[in-house]
């Protein structure tokens, strides 16, 4: 006979947090949202943590390099979508790793033989005005000079003028050697009133550039997430088909963490993919897996060696898997069940595997609920798709600005690998829709507001950290009548609030 779960599966809106004692120290400014991303042994520190518990979904409409930089600045991680060619995905990862924050591999390089026309063309393509002039025109060639906007006047100069005639030559450039720290580099920049500082190796070859504007930006973003070279942290989605080619390209590009992107992760394909990573890279390459919704799925992926495990089937805003296939489970129940399995696994083995609640976050307080139920972080698609930084078009529909948002299982994305069960290389039926979401402005403003609500609720629960919230939270189911009472009721609203 089939197995029946004793209780119905439930979603976030069916729960509320009951406040606990808040001491005088329990103020939002004292709350830390730091959270582990990869598994670690009891008593040890995880090798990758985030400063906020948010990651952006592995979706065409959500996570490209621009989103990744914006989210890393706030302390979270984007998983760059995998439903594109290996070359394009690796190029996006490279762009994030080269972007800002301290030591940057120069992305604008020419030789002295190039012309002003080439400089202008490069500036147009990269948006960067400082060009390193090296002997071979690469980012690691011997540095011969620098061209910045002040070195030329477009209106007065022939576009065929050679770079060698107007660059600032190396003899006149202030540079630093390879052992310089970021702090020292910034001091040199300030003392010499520079906009950029090249960092050279012993042979005079270019290693990095340090830009003045990056230092300013760092001061504005105290939670931003860096690797050991002060580059932004970035993730990438992979599939269980072309991983032998895709993963090496992503690793070469500098990706910090991978995630197998699949609508259903309790499968031999995922175990094979993780085993391949371990055989080739040992523990140096970190890889999350999923999605699962119960203890069995969690145990399977834990034993397969996943670094984190993602939860959720059918709860995504654009997802119609439950309708189409009749599989899935309420997101809150899935998180509660998997968190129990994670804690049990930790007791047994001393290994803590972070879990991620993926999809179905409708209101900001759902994030706090997911964390209280045991999630270490949450993955959001619809939420991030509404921001300036998402890759999609902003369109005006009947006077209201919207952004486009489509599922990976929609005909538009054609991400058949995400729904692959080893059959044909095509999407046989849709599991997602194409939609609009209300445009909401910048990521920074929205994430700031969302997290201030999370911190505030955590204080109501007497928790100053996510582990404290997970340990001490009191949750209650609510009746459907109480849910109605949870919003404004029995009054006539003066304006239509868009919550
Ligand atoms: P949401 O944040 O509710 O928009 O959900 C995003 C999640 O939905 C993704 O992280 C992914 O797990 C899932 N998804 C993506 N595409 C589709 C689909 O087409 N069905 N579902």
233 DSSP assignment: P
Over 60: is that where the pLDDT of 404 sits?
yes
356 among known catalytic residues? no
Q: From the annotation, which residues make up the binding site?
A: 261-263, 312-314, 316, 319
Q: Which residues make Cβ contacts (< 8 Å) with residue 155, sequence separation at least 6?
A: none
Strand ranges, E, within 262-406 = 287-292, 308-311, 351-352, 355-358, 377-380, 394-397, 400-406
Q: Which domains does the chain have, with CATH numbers?
A: 12-101+224-483 (3.20.20.70), 103-212 (3.10.580.10)
Task: Report the chain's terminal Cα–Cα distance, integer Å.
Answer: 45
Question: What's this model's pTM, rounded to 2 decimal places?
Answer: 0.82
Over 50: is that where the pLDDT of 122 sits?
yes
User: Which residues are 18's β-sheet partners?
Assistant: 474
Taking the C-alpha atoms of residue 168 and residue 247, their distance in angstroms, rounded to an integer, is 41
Question: Who wins on pLDDT, 376 or 431?
Answer: 376
For ligand 1, atom 21: residue with the closest CA: 319
**Ligand 1 contact, 328 CB (< 6 A):** no
- For residue 491, give Cα distances in angstroms to 143, 479, 484, 488, 495: 70, 21, 13, 7, 12
- Ligand 1 atom closest to the CA of 380, numbered from 1: 2
Percentage of the chain lying above the pLDDT 90 cut: 79
Which residue of the set 246, 418, 455, 459 is catalytic?
418
3-state secondary structure of 496: coil
- Predicted local confidence at residue 499, as pLDDT: 44
Mean pLDDT of 242-252: 97
Structure tokens at 272: 């094979």
Taking the C-alpha atoms of residue 293 and residue 341, their distance in angstroms, rounded to an integer, is 11
Assembly ipTM: 0.99
Q: Which residues make Cβ contacts (< 8 Å) with residue 298, sequence separation at least 6?
A: 292, 309, 338, 341, 342, 345, 355
Average pLDDT, the chain: 93
Ligand 1 center to 458 CA (angstroms): 27
Over 60: is that where the pLDDT of 101 sits?
no
3-state secondary structure of 375: coil
Over 50: is that where the pLDDT of 321 sits?
yes
- Predicted local confidence at residue 393, as pLDDT: 86
Mean pLDDT of 149-162: 92
**Ligand 1 contact, 380 CB (< 6 A):** yes
Question: Who wins on pLDDT, 255 or 128?
Answer: 255
Structure tokens at 76: 């979270």
Taking the C-alpha atoms of residue 230 and residue 37, their distance in angstroms, rounded to an integer, is 18
Where is average pLDDT lowest: 3-7, 154-158, 420-424? Answer: 420-424
Mean pLDDT of 473-493: 88
Q: From the annotation, which residues make up the binding site for K(+)?
A: 314, 316, 319
Ligand 1 center to 41 CA (angstroms): 31
- Predicted local confidence at residue 20, as pLDDT: 96
Question: Who wins on pLDDT, 259 or 101?
Answer: 259
Q: Place 415 in a pLDDT band, splitting at 50, 70 and 90.
A: confident
Percentage of the chain lying above the pLDDT 70 cut: 97
Q: From the annotation, which residues make up the binding site for NAD(+)?
A: 261-263, 312-314
- Ligand 1 atom closest to the CA of 315, numbered from 1: 3
Q: Residue with structure tokens 């991978």?
A: 258
Helix (H) or strand (E) holding 89: helix 86-98
Mean pLDDT of 167-191: 91
- Predicted local confidence at residue 216, as pLDDT: 63
Ligand 1 center to 411 CA (angstroms): 14
- Predicted local confidence at residue 408, as pLDDT: 94
66 among known catalytic residues? no
Q: Place 496 in a pLDDT band, splitting at 50, 70 and 90.
A: low
Strand ranges, E, within 148-250 = 168-169, 176-177, 196-200, 206-211, 235-238
Measured N-to-C along each axis, helices 443-460 and 65-74 cross at an angle, to the nearest 10 degrees, of 40
**Ligand 1 contact, 57 CB (< 6 A):** yes
Over 60: is that where the pLDDT of 169 sits?
yes
- Predicted local confidence at residue 339, as pLDDT: 98
């Amino acid at each position: 006979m089939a197995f029946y779960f004793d209780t119905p599966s439930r979603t976030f809106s069916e729960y509320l947090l009951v406040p606990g004692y808040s001491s005088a120290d329990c103020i939002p400014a004292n709350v830390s949202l730091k959270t582990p991303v990869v598994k670690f042994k009891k008593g040890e520190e995880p090798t990758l943590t985030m400063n906020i518990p948010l990651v952006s979904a592995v979706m065409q409409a959500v996570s490209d390099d621009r989103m990744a930089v914006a989210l890393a600045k706030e302390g979270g991680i984007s998983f760059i979508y995998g439903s594109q060619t290996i070359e394009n995905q690796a190029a996006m990862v490279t762009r994030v790793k080269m972007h800002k924050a301290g030591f940057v591999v120069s992305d604008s390089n020419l030789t002295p033989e190039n012309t002003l026309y080439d400089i202008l063309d490069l500036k147009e393509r990269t948006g960067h005005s400082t060009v390193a002039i090296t002997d071979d025109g690469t980012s690691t060639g011997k540095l011969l000079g620098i061209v910045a906007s002040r070195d030329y006047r477009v209106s007065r100069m022939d576009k065929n003028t050679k770079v060698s005639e107007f660059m600032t030559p190396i003899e006149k450039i202030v540079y630093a050697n390879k052992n310089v720290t970021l702090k020292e580099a910034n001091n040199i920049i300030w003392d010499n009133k520079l906009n950029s500082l090249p960092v050279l190796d012993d042979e005079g070859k270019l290693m990095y550039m340090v830009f003045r504007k990056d230092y300013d930006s760092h001061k504005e973003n105290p939670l931003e997430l860096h690797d050991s070279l002060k580059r932004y942290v970035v993730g990438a989605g992979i599939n269980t088909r072309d991983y032998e080619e895709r993963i090496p390209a992503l690793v070469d590009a500098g990706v910090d963490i991978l995630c197998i992107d699949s609508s259903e992760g309790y499968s031999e394909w995922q175990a094979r993919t993780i085993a391949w990573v371990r055989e080739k890279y040992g523990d140096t390459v970190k890889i999350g897996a999923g999605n699962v919704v119960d203890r069995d799925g969690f145990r399977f992926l834990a034993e397969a060696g996943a670094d984190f495990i993602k939860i959720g089937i059918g709860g995504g805003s654009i997802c119609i898997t439950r309708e189409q296939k009749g599989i899935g489970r309420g997101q809150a129940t899935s998180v509660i069940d998997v968190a129990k399995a994670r804690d049990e696994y930790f007791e047994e083995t001393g290994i803590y595997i972070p879990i991620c609640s993926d999809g179905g976050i409708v209101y900001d307080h759902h994030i706090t609920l997911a964390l209280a139920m045991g999630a270490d972080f949450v993955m959001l698609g619809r939420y991030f798709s509404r921001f300036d930084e998402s890759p999609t078009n902003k369109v005006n529909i009947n006077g209201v600005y919207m952004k486009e948002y489509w599922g990976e299982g929609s005909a538009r994305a054609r991400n058949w690998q995400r729904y692959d069960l080893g059959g044909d290389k095509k999407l046989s039926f849709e599991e997602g829709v194409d939609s609009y979401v209300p445009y909401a402005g910048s990521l920074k403003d929205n994430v700031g507001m969302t997290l201030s609500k999370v911190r505030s609720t955590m204080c109501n629960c007497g928790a100053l950290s996510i582990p404290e919230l997970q340990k001490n939270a009191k949750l209650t189911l609510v009746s459907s009548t109480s849910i109605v009472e949870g919003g404004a009721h029995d009054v006539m609203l003066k304006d239509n609030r868009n919550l």
